[in-house]
Every structure is written in structure tokens, then in C-alpha cells.
């Protein structure tokens, strides 16, 4: 699974993307965010406020209860505003 990070989330984590092999217990976006939060202090800081974290799976915005597959591309980013 490829996970890409954007904006201040990328800055806190310290990298733009990573390729992960996840344990079988990671089944949803929420599970993934929990798993990532435990992987480093940067991940924990970036993903601390889940209400501010937006996720796209295979370039489609999804809710945190969305099911994941091993070959998904995940994008994690803050809310987007226009103007």
C-alpha cells in the first residue's frame, strides 16, 4: 500500500510518501490512521486531530470507515479550502 501525505501533515511526518505492508488488523481508514499514529512522534502529531484529517483512497475521498485493500493508494491531507 502506498500512503501519500500532503501539506502540514507531510511536514509533521517528514516525508511525502511511504510504502507499507500492513498487519491484517488494519481493515479501514480509521485502523490505518491508528496504526500510523503509533509509528512515530511525527505521525502521532500529524494525525492527532482526526476531525481535521481527510483521506482519499485511489483518488476518491472517503470516510474513515472505508474498507482498505493491500493495493490501495492512500492520500492523507488536511481540509481543503477555496477562495
How distant, in Å, are the alpha carbons of 11, 18, 82, 83 from that of 64? 22, 20, 23, 26
Q: What is the pLDDT of residues 14-60, one digit of tens each?
A: 999 999 999 999 999 999 999 999 999 999 999 988 888 999 999 99
CATH for 2-77 is 3.10.20.30
| Domain parsing of the chain, residue ranges | 2-77
Band of residue 66 on the pLDDT scale cut at 50, 70, 90: very high
CB 3 within 8 A of CB 76: yes
Amino acid at each position: 500500500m502506498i500512503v501519500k501525505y500532503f501539506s502540514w501533515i507531510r511536514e509533521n511526518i517528514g516525508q511525502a510518501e511511504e510504502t507499507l505492508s500492513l498487519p491484517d488488523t488494519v481493515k479501514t481508514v480509521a485502523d490505518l490512521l491508528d496504526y500510523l499514529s503509533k509509528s512515530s512522534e511525527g505521525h502521532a502529531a500529524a494525525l492527532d486531530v482526526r476531525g481535521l484529517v481527510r483521506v482519499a483512497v485511489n483518488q476518491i475521498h472517503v470516510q474513515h470507515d472505508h474498507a482498505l485493500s493491500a493495493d490501495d493508494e492512500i492520500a492523507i491531507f488536511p481540509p481543503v479550502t477555496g477562495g
